Amino acid sequence: MVQYKLYYFDGRGRAEVIRLIFVTADVEFEDIRISREEWPSMKPNMPLGQMPVLEVDGVMLCQSGAISRYLANQYGLAGKSDMEKYWVDAFKETMEDIAKKYPFYEEDEEKQAEMAKQFFDETGPDGLKQLEKLYGEYNDGSHRYFVGEALKEDIFDCVPDLVSLDKRLREIPTIKAWIERRPQSEF
């Protein structure tokens, strides 16, 4: 039996999609959460000096997108055709484009607050509307699932189709159980 160890900070961030793949596929994994204080001593031992890292029977895999695609393919969650796999990648990359616009790393608190307000008032909703448009172009009525999550709940008011999809995903028993038992975190 394959042994999986997922290393990431104590938060959802870039590792949560990986965790959701595991719980959707009903595959056991060790969820190793690294504190900010522990990270400097562990960083030199991680591929590329970053996380998340997935250890698969002692082999360290890096890059969250590559890990997600690897696992999704492994467990039949990546799409049944090359075109479906394309759409999965397009959605993921679009979500990353939106998330990158949030000022996570702005150190000036006043500037971060101003940038965050702009994100929640304009940039985030605009990006989500584009994502919903992309979903509409892909969805011919036979595709039920697609999800996103944000730091501010009402940011999704402008994209009701995505909200509906998110609710359906959260009702899948394995995902629902994971959300109820996962550690609470800021991100």
Q: How far apart are CA 133 and CA 159, in angstroms?
A: 9
Domain boundaries of the chain, sorted by first residue = 4-76, 82-169
Superfamily of domain 4-76: Glutaredoxin (3.40.30.10)
**What beta strand segments (E) does the chain contain?**
4-9, 30-34, 53-56, 59-62
Q: Is the pLDDT score of 152 beyond 60? A: no
Structure tokens at 170: 């959260």
Q: Is 147's pLDDT higher than 90? A: no
For the CA atoms of the chain, what is the radius of gyration?
A: 17
Distance between CA atoms of residues 34 and 123, nearest Å: 31
The domain over range 82-169 is classified in CATH as 3.40.50.300: no
Work out the number of other CB atoms within 10 angstroms of the CB of residue 35.
9
Query: 184: which 2 tokens?
Result: 């609470």
Name which of 77-91, 134-148, 157-171 the model is least confident about: 134-148
Taking the CA atoms of residue 103, residue 156, residue 77 and residue 133 in that order, the dihedral angle to the nearest 10 degrees is -100
Q: What is the mean pLDDT of the chain?
A: 85
Q: At a CB cut-off of 8 Å and minimum separation 6, what does 60 contact? A: 46, 47, 53, 54
- pLDDT tens-place string over residues 6-60: 999 998 888 989 998 999 899 999 999 999 999 999 999 999 999 999 999 999 9
Q: In this model, does residue 181 exceed pLDDT 80?
A: yes
Mean pLDDT of 168-180: 85
Cα-based distances in Å from 30 to 2, 7, 23, 27, 67:
12, 8, 12, 10, 15
CA torsion, ordered 153, 154, 159, 160, to nearest 10 deg: 80
